[in-house]
Amino acid sequence: MSCSLVVENKNYPESVIEFTNYLGTIKNKSKNTITGYKSDLGLFFKFLQVHKNSKKYSNIIDIEDIDITNIGVRFIQSIELKDLYAFMNYLENERKKKNGECARARKVATLKSYYNYIFKKAKIVKENIAEELEAPKINRRQPSVLDINDSKHLLESLDSEDKFYQRDYCILTLLLHCGMRLEELTNIKLVDIKNDVLTIIGKGSKERKIYLNDTCLKVIDNYLQIRDDSKCDKENKKFLFISRLNRHIHKNSIEALVKKHLGNAGFDLDKYHTHSTRASYATMMYNAGIDVETLASSMGHSVSSTTRIYLNINENNLRNVSKINPLNNL
């Protein structure tokens, strides 16, 4: 079966709608997380319609044309573990370009969460068949990071004559100094900054405070002096960063401008990207002596094990650990 699919259909089976409502109201999951879960489950059920009814859908060219709104309890109860593996095989062999290891692992997590809900909460099924579903192994590469000199070089490479110099300089400075996520940066509103405290809403709608150092306060002030919101509507005026189109800047625009400046500064774009700023922040702070638990809190991680993924620990620090071992020189 060779089908192309981008799940944009907002019509889902009743169990999926109830599940995502549960994620939002009870589990307090973010809008983006819920959208991802719905997209994954939409693809899953569209695939199953073809997989389990191949004759009925033999003339379907685009799997997106398949209606899944009428999928009910009986169909869900007919799904077996082998069908889940058939779905994963479909992703691996026919949609690999759009579904790498991380994307497939997320879909496994989606199925596990969904089946946990319909087994324990909705009680639609008598057993949780997804409990045995295994996620693909993810080969995590240590993220490429900018050290102190690299960070200075990046900031100094910006063209001070450019119309958006102060804005872009402020964006890069906050990313490097605060280690925030792109979406957190784009959603900063003017009222979120009070003295040296920046309040942001992170993943899972969790609020956290970032304490701005003197450099951050200075670049924000420099940007605000030239920030022009005269052509913005009332809603867009609220946001700190404004796009060329006089709107609240989108995270895709941030990603593009960071990539542009990295390229202009001579960094290899196959190794360095927007997320490198977050990894750079984590590594620099850790190497400066900040413990992982404190670092996790500053980055909005609920567990420190997530923070460790970002760390590119300085080799000199590792060498020093070896030297201060009490058994050394015995």
Tokens, residue 177: 């100094």
Taking every pair of C-alpha atoms in the chain, what is the biggest distance, in angstroms? 77
Question: Alpha carbon of 291 to those of 143, 256, 307, 321: distances in Å?
Answer: 19, 32, 11, 15
State yes or no: is 114 an active-site residue.
Answer: no
State yes or no: is 248 an active-site residue.
Answer: no
Catalytic residue among 52, 95, 275, 308: 275
In whole angstroms, give the CA distance from residue 94 to residue 103.
14
At a CB cut-off of 8 Å and minimum separation 6, what does 59 contact? none
State yes or no: is 275 an active-site residue.
Answer: yes
Report the candidate in 269, 251, 248 with the shortest Cα–Cα distance to residue 260: 269
> Is 4 in a helix, a strand, or coil?
strand
Catalytic residue among 153, 203, 237, 259: 203
> Is 211 in a helix, a strand, or coil?
strand
Is the Cβ–Cβ distance between 92 and 104 less than 8 Å?
Answer: yes
Question: Which residues are registered as beta bridge partners of 193?
Answer: 198
State yes or no: is 203 an active-site residue.
Answer: yes
State yes or no: is 177 an active-site residue.
Answer: no
Catalytic residue among 167, 181, 248, 261: 181
Tokens, residue 147: 């050290």
- Residues annotated as catalytic are 181, 203, 275, 278, 301, 310
